[in-house]
Amino acid sequence: MPSVTRQAYFEAALELLAEHGFTGLNVGRLCRALGVTSGSFYHHFGGWPGFVEQLLDHWENRQVLILRERNFGTGGPSADFAALMDLTLGLPHEAEAAIRAWAANDETVRAAQKRVDSARLRTVGKAVKGIVGDADLARTLTSLGMAMLVGHQQLAAAGEHSELATLLAEYTRLVHSRGS
């Protein structure tokens, strides 16, 4: 049997979430997808709760790492906003919809989802406020952006692959049109 990294487990788990939803993610299916035994899984994670905790940490920190790679915060609000829109295009949308459904059924996942949502609202809100200048308008536009993202993810999970790039382009035009 091949040796598999924690990262490989996390990527496979996100793929399984995207394909089968949270009810389709389990030790057996994950190990089959990776071609390893359950012993490998238990060696890495100790058990299902340990795996879920580490998977959620991986998912939460993914955005932070990507933004750091893109030098987020160094180019001004417009550059930051553009980086966020680009990041949004690359999110694992079907997996994120499955995580949101899982959050409705599991307190640990719900807490992680809330942290991710809060971080996204803060990060996007800061960039939007830098563009529009008005805190109240920035909150409204940021909430609109989050609603668009979550709505898109729900539609994508249901097999409706709307044009997210087109939606984000319109959202970008809206935010910049309200700039001070």
pLDDT of residue 2: 61
Q: Which of 131, 117, 121 is nearest to 180 (CA)?
A: 131
Rounded CA-CA distance 156/166 in Å is 15
Rounded CA-CA distance 25/4 in Å is 18
Residue keyed to tokens 């905790």: 53
pLDDT of residue 147: 96
pTM over 0.85: yes
Rounded CA-CA distance 144/140 in Å is 6
| 45 and 58 Cβ atoms separated by less than 8 Å | no
| 88 and 149 Cβ atoms separated by less than 8 Å | yes
Rounded CA-CA distance 139/144 in Å is 9
Handedness of CA 75, 78, 80, 86 (dihedral sign): negative
pLDDT of residue 74: 84
The tens digit of pLDDT for each residue in 14-50 reads 999 999 999 999 999 999 999 999 999 999 999 999 9
> pLDDT digit of tens for each residue in the chain (180 aa)?
567 899 999 999 999 999 999 999 999 999 999 999 999 999 999 999 999 999 999 999 987 788 778 778 888 999 999 999 988 988 889 999 999 999 999 999 999 999 999 989 999 999 999 999 999 999 999 999 999 999 999 888 777 767 889 999 999 999 999 987
Q: Which domains does the chain have, with CATH numbers?
A: 6-177 (1.10.357.10)
pLDDT of residue 16: 96
